[in-house]
Amino acid sequence: MIEKTLKGKPAYWIWLAFLGTFVAIGAACYVRQYIYGLALTGMSRDVSWGIYISQFTFLVGVAAGGLMLVLPYYIHDYKAFGKLTILGEFLAISAIAMCLMFIMADLGQPLRGLNMILHPTPNSMLFWDMVVLLGYLTLNVLCGWVILTAERKGVHPPKWIYIFVYISIPFAVSIHTVTAMLYCGLPGRHFWLSAIIAPRFLASAFAAGPALIVVACLIMKRVAHFDAGKEALAKLSTIIMYAAIINTFFVILEFFVGYYSNVPGHIHSLQYLFFGLEHHGHVYNNLVPFMWGSVFLNFAGLGLLAYMKFNEWTDGMLGAACVMIFFALWIDKGLGFVLGGFVPNMLDQVVEYYPTANEVGITLGIWAAGFFLVTVLYKIAVGVEHEIE
């Protein structure tokens, strides 16, 4: 099936070349970082994780989001998602590949990465995160490939594969739960020390992942004659809407707990993210525009989705709503959540983090590599789809 990636219209090649350029720039930036060290990033002993780990956290959610296609189809026998489950699985593969690249980019001693396996440490949540991420990656490669191959041959997938499909459902939940546990089990980091982090992560994942798939479907409808079907897209938009509403609800609860209880530790990070944190006469607020941008995009996207439920809708409206929700959640989790947790630091000092150009180069490079992978995988999926027709 891989041969399908080698034949395509000029637009396909131009898109891959465009992504390839970013991958090359990112690789060059990484070589610089590898030689000199992580001092080339904006991170410090006060904000010791930056955009690498925050992208990782967000992308685990995107990977888990594929669950919203797999679960209705395989558990509830919702036939309209038949053509889409493979897209969810392939997106999960690409998102986890990005996650692993972001982790490697963040390690101070990447060549020692295997120490995680050579010295397994069950009391570390990072160990379990590696276990579930590698497990989920394997399951998606296996299920995606076997089912697509069967589809191509016009036969039913073998029965044994369904065992792995069903196993992949709790695995999808586990990857984002364990990723939340990286944060919510740390004493002293009040912003993260909240039992609602895992459900909040899942809610935002179940909106962000499907939103990206909807956008991909709409693009492929135009450029690759791949029609997901109006019913499937409408159902996905409902799923995205509910998940985004639940996520919004959870975030509002964090605000209530912080500001009503008036416990300083619960307020500081929220204050820093949304209003600016005053400290010794200086207001630190470099993330405030982003966070309000996220709020605006979130509510605008939700408003548009709600409007579509009562009126005729177009692909353009659906695409716009999904893009808005996706970016809103990216800012919320892929920026604010991780960076906000480090402000103030453990000694109540405020250090603001700004990523460097080199760091942004690596980040864009990894995103481009992920999109490259998802493009190639979707090319295969759509190619097989056309072959059957």
What gap in Å lies between CA 105 and CA 26, rounded to an integer?
Answer: 11
CA 314 remoteness from chain centre: 26
Binding of other proteins at residue 261 (CB under 8 A)?
Answer: no
Q: How far is the CB of 122 from other proteins (least distance, A)?
A: 10
State the Cα torsion 316-322-324-330 to the nearest 10°: -150
Q: Can you name the residues that pair with 279 across neighbouring β-strands?
A: 282
Sole residue written with tokens 């069950």: 122
| Inter-residue contact 346 to 37 (CB < 8 Å) | no
The distance of closest approach from Cβ of residue 120 to other proteins in the complex, given in angstroms and rounded to an integer, is 8
Instruction: Return d(Cα 231, Cα 83) in angstroms, integer.
Output: 12
- Rounded to a whole number of angstroms, the minimum distance from the CB of residue 67 to other proteins is 26
Interface with other proteins includes 262 (CB under 8 A)? Answer: no
Structure tokens at 294: 């996220």
Q: In the set 27, 38, 161, 173, which binds other proteins (CB under 8 A)?
A: 38
The footprint of other proteins on residues 116-135 (CB under 8 A) is 116, 118-119, 121, 123-127, 130
Q: Which one, 121 or 261, has the nearer CB to other proteins? A: 121
Q: Is 39 in the site for other proteins (CB under 8 A)?
A: yes
The verdict on 359 binding other proteins (CB under 8 A) reads no
Nearer to other proteins, 14 or 186 (CB): 186
**Nearer CB in complex with other proteins: 33/375:** 33
Residue 335's H or E segment, with its range, is none
d(CA 235, CA 163): 26
Position among 112, 222, 225, 386 found at the interface with other proteins (CB under 8 A): 112
Q: Is residue 186 close enough to count as binding other proteins by CB under 8 A?
A: yes
284 binds other proteins (CB under 8 A): no
Sign of CA dihedral 276, 183, 373, 113: positive
Closer residue to other proteins (CB): 19 or 29: 29
Burial status of residue 45 (CB atoms within 10 A of its CB: 0-12, 13-18, 19 or more): exposed
Structure tokens at 132: 């579930």
Q: Are 364 and 54 in contact (CB under 8 A)?
A: no
Q: Residue 284 belongs to what H/E stretch?
A: strand 282-284
Q: Could you tell me how many residues make up the chain?
A: 389
Q: Per CB under 8 A, which region of 59-67, 102-110, 204-212, 307-315 contacts other proteins? A: 102-110
Of residues 71-90, which lie at the interface with other proteins (CB under 8 A)? Answer: none
How far apart CA 309 and CA 240 sit, in angstroms, is 12
Minimum CB–partner distance for residue 26 and other proteins (Å)? 20
Among 152, 189, 320, 360, binds other proteins (CB under 8 A): 189
Q: Is 347 in the site for other proteins (CB under 8 A)?
A: yes
Q: What mask, x for binding other proteins by CB under 8 A, covers residues 299 to 338?
A: ----------------------------------------
Are residues 248 and 306 in contact, defined by beta-carbon separation less than 8 angstroms? no
Q: Does 349 bind other proteins (CB under 8 A)?
A: yes
Site residues for other proteins per CB under 8 A: 36-39, 41-46, 48-49, 103, 106-110, 112-113, 115-116, 118-119, 121, 123-127, 130, 182-183, 185-189, 341-342, 345-349
